[in-house]
Amino acid sequence: MESQIDDRVSASGAAPGPIKRECATHGSYQAMHIFGRHWANCPECEREAQERIAAQDAERAREQRVAVAKARLECNLRNCGLAGRNLRASFQNFTATTPKQREVLDAVVGFAKTFTTTSGGGLWLLGLPGTGKTHLGAALVSNSIRERSLAACMHSFGQIQTMLRARWSNSKESRSFWEIEDGLETTDQLLEHLGTIPLLALDELGVGRGTDAELETLFQIVDRRYQLERPTVVLSNLKPIELKAAMGDRAYDRLREGTRLLICDWPSHRGQIK
């Protein structure tokens, strides 16, 4: 609380010069007459008030950033295509007991740390069922979302076909289970989403009827990602030569450019995950 003073102006009408005032907190200070109407407050009090305001603004901005980051994380996890055991999959709970398993795990972890949204290429994880390919793909998607704040998703090609068929219907109930992002109401919007998301993992590629319509859908997604240099991960039980026949020459040729092939040729991994 500052002491009261005489606020009179000189008889000539000119503003008085600086005077000594007392601040209960900071002691004496020289006060100027401001705009001919009032005396300046204690400069230390003013500085502390500005610092408090700045600190409050910074805290509000920090809380807003945290809220936005949390909302983005929740949205990305909700729309990543993972559920149940796949959502719990991580690099830490993948059992790698042999040199070959550790080599593949290290390669996937290295890719998770270094890929960018325009690095192109990707990974192919090929091997028999039960070798942990889906676990590693899910861990890669989850890591991208949780550790790098990047949108990513993993779907089998069969799931993508189901999502597309759901959007052919006018029934909201038929779409609700496969809705992966707000606003994706049409097949074109869904294909654009899959073609532009920073990281896409295609599970069980080559499992399907292989119709011309399916191959064209796959090519649309792959070609869009190829043009934008988005990295793509392929998980399949097929050998490379079988994959080429299953996905078509055009999609195969684009997907293999810049990719790293990892062969998972060990016995079934099921029942060994912690």
Q: Which residue has the tokens 């993972």?
A: 82
Average pLDDT for 33-38: 72
Mean predicted lDDT score pLDDT of the chain = 85
Average pLDDT for 19-46: 83
For the chain, the first-to-last Cα distance in angstroms comes to 65
- Containing 30, the helix (H) or strand (E) segment is strand 27-31
pLDDT-derived band of residue 3, with 50, 70 and 90 as boundaries? very low
Report pLDDT digits (tens) over 198-245. Answer: 999 999 887 766 688 888 999 999 999 999 999 999 999 998 889 888
Average pLDDT for 158-164: 87
Tell me what pLDDT residue 179 has: 46
Q: 6: helix, coil or strand?
A: coil
The answer to whether 58 and 52 are in contact (CB under 8 A) is no
**0.85 cut: is pTM over it?**
no
- Give 269: exposed, middle or buried? Use CB within 10 Å, 0-12, 13-18, 19+: buried
Least trusted range by pLDDT, from 7-11, 63-67, 154-158:
7-11
pLDDT beyond 60 at 11:
no
List, in order of start, the domains of the chain with CATH numbers. 1-78 (no CATH), 81-264 (3.40.50.300)
Q: 179: helix, coil or strand?
A: coil
Strands 152-156 and 19-23, by their bridges, are unpaired
